[in-house]
Amino acid sequence: MPGDHRRIRGPEESQPPQLYAADEDEAPAARDPTRLRPVYARAGLLSQAKGSAYLEAGGTKVLCAVSGPRQAEGSERGSGPAGAGGEAPAALRGRLLCDFRRAPFAGRRRRAPPGGGEERELALALQEALEPAVRLGRYPRAQLEVSALLLEDGGSALAAALTAAALALADAGVEMYDLVVGCGLSRTPEPAPTWLLDPTRLEEEHAAAGLTVALMPVLNQVAGLLGSGEGGPTESWAEAVRLGLEGCQRLYPVLQQCLVRAARRRGAAAPS
């Protein structure tokens, strides 16, 4: 892989030894398709960020930080029809800038930090899923920066990043309509294709199709949807979306408790 030749003296191209290993036919073990891995969530752990959250689900570890609202660069002065609820006109609405980064050691192969297309795509997916939930009209001419860092990819990375980002935004005190909860799914290949909720990395690698759904649980609105692969007919995808939405609803109480605990911790620390 092209490396930084000034700092690292090494061969031009380097590969991990697993590529030359004999085929390890490690098929993922059969399991209950609707099981969710136990989740550990903690909000308010970074001192330098306005809001932050860490989420761990199985082997997936995501850290998310929110900063802002800061003055937006290149904010144009415009006036247009005001939105409902006394919010700023469309030209003055706040912006949400999302950044998704993978640590170089997150996956099986080392990936140098400018990850290229995939990270931009996931950052765009994050932004499209978080925008319906954040009241951007209350932050005119300002921008909120959300940056998600994937420390280890153990399956359903985008879903974990979405959930962590929503927790971080809530921890930062940003006005939101509702939390956003993300859930990943993957479809086992033929024969007998079934949709599995919250796949591990091994299940994702062997999958024929993958899907991530983001739900706003109280409003029951789908905030984000991204899926691709050989998923079969529309009925199969509809069933997957339903399964994902159910998974999101089951995850919601854990996140509520996490935010309550973080608020209590902040409250206990403040008076001193």
* Contacting residues toward another protein, per CB under 8 A: 15, 19, 81, 117-118, 120-121, 124, 128-129, 131-133, 208-209, 211, 216, 219-234, 237-238, 241-242, 245
Shortest Å distance, C-beta 223 to another protein? 5
Question: Which is it for strands 39-43 and 60-71: parallel, antiparallel or unpaired?
Answer: unpaired
Shortest Å distance, C-beta 130 to another protein? 10
Complex with another protein: residue 56 or 178, whichever CB lies closer: 178
Shortest Å distance, C-beta 237 to another protein? 5
Shortest Å distance, C-beta 57 to another protein? 22
Helix (H) or strand (E) holding 213: strand 209-216
Here the tokens at position 15 are: 């590969």
CA distance 81 to 90: 7
Shortest Å distance, C-beta 215 to another protein? 8
Shortest Å distance, C-beta 133 to another protein? 8
The dihedral over CA atoms of 231, 236, 242, 247, expressed in degrees to the nearest 10, equals -50
The dihedral over CA atoms of 118, 123, 128, 133, expressed in degrees to the nearest 10, equals 150
Complex with another protein: residue 220 or 257, whichever CB lies closer: 220
Specify the residue for token string 């899926």.
Answer: 227
Q: Name which of 57, 61, 16 is nearest 37 in CA terms.
A: 57
Complex with another protein: residue 224 or 247, whichever CB lies closer: 224
Complex with another protein: residue 117 or 271, whichever CB lies closer: 117
Helix (H) or strand (E) holding 144: strand 142-152
Q: How many residues does the chain have?
A: 272
Complex with another protein: residue 42 or 221, whichever CB lies closer: 221
Complex with another protein: residue 62 or 211, whichever CB lies closer: 211
